Amino acid sequence: MIERFETGQRMGKVVKHNGVLYLCGQVGSGDTVAEQTKDCLSRVDALLENYGSSRKHILQAIVWLANMTDFNEMNDVWDAWVPEGHAPARACGEAKLARPQLRVEVIVTAVEAE
């Protein structure tokens, strides 16, 4: 069974199938990549909590940066956020994001907490 949450015409924020949560890409606000990363990860936390999961249950994360020169700054925030022993499979690449002021976007797949 597929369940869709916070769904609009274009997309849903979360789609659940067989206990797996697929989150739409999360972006954050702020002037620096660190600020944006912290904000988008707090949005990930909120969605996971609202739909029965947590950062300890993330299977995969895809990180898009507007510029790969921000890789280390983003990773400083990411590394502090990921619980020790629970690092997900992750990919990170450079992409032109939806708005010019966006510097980072994170896409997460997680399982429901047991």
Q: Domain locations in the chain?
A: 14-111
What tokens were used for 43? Answer: 């949005």
Q: Class of 14-111 per CATH? A: alpha beta
| Cβ density class 71-109: b for 16+ within 10 Å, e for less | eebbeebbeeebeeeeebeeebeeeebeeeebbbbbbbb
Residue 83, pLDDT score: 97
pTM of the predicted structure, to 2 decimals: 0.95
Over residues 32-64, the pLDDT tens digits come to: 999 999 999 999 999 999 999 999 999 999 999
**Which residues of the chain fall below pLDDT 50?**
none
Residue 114, pLDDT score: 78
**What's the mean pLDDT when you consider all of the chain?**
97
